[in-house]
Structure 1
Amino acid sequence: MTQRPIRTVLVDDHALLREGLRSLLDRDEEVVVVGEAGTFEAALAEVALVGPDVVVVDLKLTAGTEYEGLRLIREMTRQHPKVAALVLTTFLDDDLVVRAVRAGAKGYVVKDVDTTELIRAIRTVSTGGSAFDPRSAAIVLRAVSGEHDGTAELTDRERQVLKLLADGKSNAEIGRGLFISESTVKFHIRNVIRKLGVTKRTDAVYVASKRGLI
């Protein structure tokens, strides 16, 4: 018995990209594109109309700074919990990946993924699994191993070090300002980086500022 194709909706604010993606997916018998949309409102209406198995969502649906795709995933998950959301985006950022998962996304892949991997991701989330490319998977793993999001774990001293890092201070300057040794400063920075699930001190400042820690 032939398995039913995976009914898929494409959500991207660029019509040309949707057309190209539809063309690629339509070549595969495993997936059938049953709808597409370019805005938050249109996407919700399309999902309600066609009842897809999977919705492939770009995070940027407007020209502004907001990631409307996150709001769409959150609302779609609330209204249609059986529909799987798969993020397909050009943005690979620790905070965005974690926010997408918290919003309800079942997978996260970047747009340089090849067609075979994308179809595999669609198939995986359609059956209740999770699909992440190697880079986004590493981010999720760091977030999970960091025990929550690190916000509650930062000590007062670590927050002080973060604040001075954000001000552009060197390790030596931070040490002088807090009356601690440079090696102790490095110890605190390593802990902050681990707890925030990032790999660089600049990323730690960025994530901490977005989470309101500094």
Structure 2
Amino acid sequence: MKISIHLVDDQQLVRDGLAALLSMSEHVTVCGQDSGGDAFLQRFQQGEVEAHVILLDMRMPEGDGLSVLRGLQQAQNNGQSVPACLVLTTFDDAELMADALHAGARGYWLKDTSLEVLVQAIERVANGELALQPELTLKALSKQRSDATDTIVLNDAETALLSLMAEGLSNRDIAARIFKAEGTVRNQVSALLAKLEVSNRTQAIAKGLQNGWVSL
């Protein structure tokens, strides 16, 4: 089954170009478009978004990317099923990338990427993994580490658990990997999220990347 994509970008030319480019792939299909975050969130609230993955620009005049991410995060916290978000932007900005990850983005890529690489990133995000552009990630981590004031210290078991989470493994997969009950892993993940003072796995992984506890 093809991965369905919804495009959110304020430039019509960009949306048309992405739609044409993605139509060349056998793995994905574009099922919707919006010119801003406000329009997308309204469509989502009306139950009209059926995509698996949102390709999301960050800086748009009528509802930016962060507002979309936060809106979806709130909906998820309220028990709604939400699509995964892959940021696709022109802004090579470490702080913006960190903000996007903390707000729930599953990936962050620049618009100059190739179709093959973009589709691979979409597939990773659709499978629940993180998809971050390597060179951009290194730049972001370098800046974040230099600015870091985090005093949290993880033990070896917590670091290993966070690394498995960064691989995109579910609680069940982690349990099978480390030979523990799924309920035990679930409790350990919850305890780790509380220790890191984050509300979900994406934020935990982002914090791990920023502090050098894990790598992708």
Provide TM-score, normalisation by structure 2.
0.61
% same residue: 34
Q: CA RMSD in A?
A: 2.3
| Alignment-derived partner of residue 73 in structure 1 | 69
Amino acid aligned to 1:85: C
| Alignment-derived partner of residue 42 in structure 1 | 39
The higher-RCO structure (CA 8 Å, 6+ apart) is 2
CA positional deviation for 1:139: 4.1
List, as ranges, runs of 4+ consecutive aligned residues in structure 1 with deviation greater than 6 Å.
none
CA positional deviation for 1:106: 0.4
Provide Cα deviations, 1:149-204, integer angstroms capped at 9, x if missing partner: 62467xxxxxxxxxxxxxxxxxxxxxxxxxxxxxxxxxxxxxxxxxxx7xxxxxxx
Task: Give the secondary structure class of the aligned counterpart of 1:85.
Answer: strand
Provide TM-score, normalisation by structure 1.
0.62
Are 2:51 and 1:55 equivalent residues in the alignment?
no
Are 2:121 and 1:121 equivalent residues in the alignment?
yes
In 2, the alpha carbon distance for the partners of 1:143 and 1:102 equals 16
User: How do 1:145-160 residues align onto structure 2 when only pairs under 5 Å count?
Assistant: 146=145, 150-151=148-149
| Alignment-derived partner of residue 11 in structure 1 | 8
CA positional deviation for 1:21: 0.3
In 2, the alpha carbon distance for the partners of 1:143 and 1:74 equals 24
Contact 2:75 2:82 in 1 (8 A): no
Task: Give the secondary structure class of the aligned counterpart of 2:113.
Answer: coil
CA positional deviation for 1:133: 0.9
In 2, the alpha carbon distance for the partners of 1:51 and 1:142 equals 37
Task: Could you tell me which runs of 5 or more consecutive residues in structure 2 were left unpaired when the two chains were aligned.
Answer: 152-209, 211-216
In 2, the alpha carbon distance for the partners of 1:26 and 1:8 equals 11
In 1, the alpha carbon distance for the partners of 2:50 and 2:42 equals 10
CA positional deviation for 1:143: 6.7
Contact 1:98 1:143 in 2 (8 A): no
- How has the CA–CA distance of structure 1 residues 125 and 143 changed in structure 2, closer, same or farther, with 3 Å as cutoff? farther
User: How do 1:62-211 residues align onto structure 2 when only pairs under 5 Å count?
Assistant: 62=61, 68-80=64-76, 81-139=81-139, 141-142=141-142, 146=145, 150-151=148-149
* Count of matched residue pairs: 146
Q: Please identify the structure whose Cα radius of gyration is greater.
A: 1
In 2, the alpha carbon distance for the partners of 1:69 and 1:137 equals 19
In 1, the alpha carbon distance for the partners of 2:66 and 2:123 equals 21
Task: Could you tell me which runs of 5 or more consecutive residues in structure 1 were left unpaired when the two chains were aligned.
Answer: 154-196, 198-214
In 1, the alpha carbon distance for the partners of 2:137 and 2:150 equals 23
In 2, the alpha carbon distance for the partners of 1:96 and 1:122 equals 20
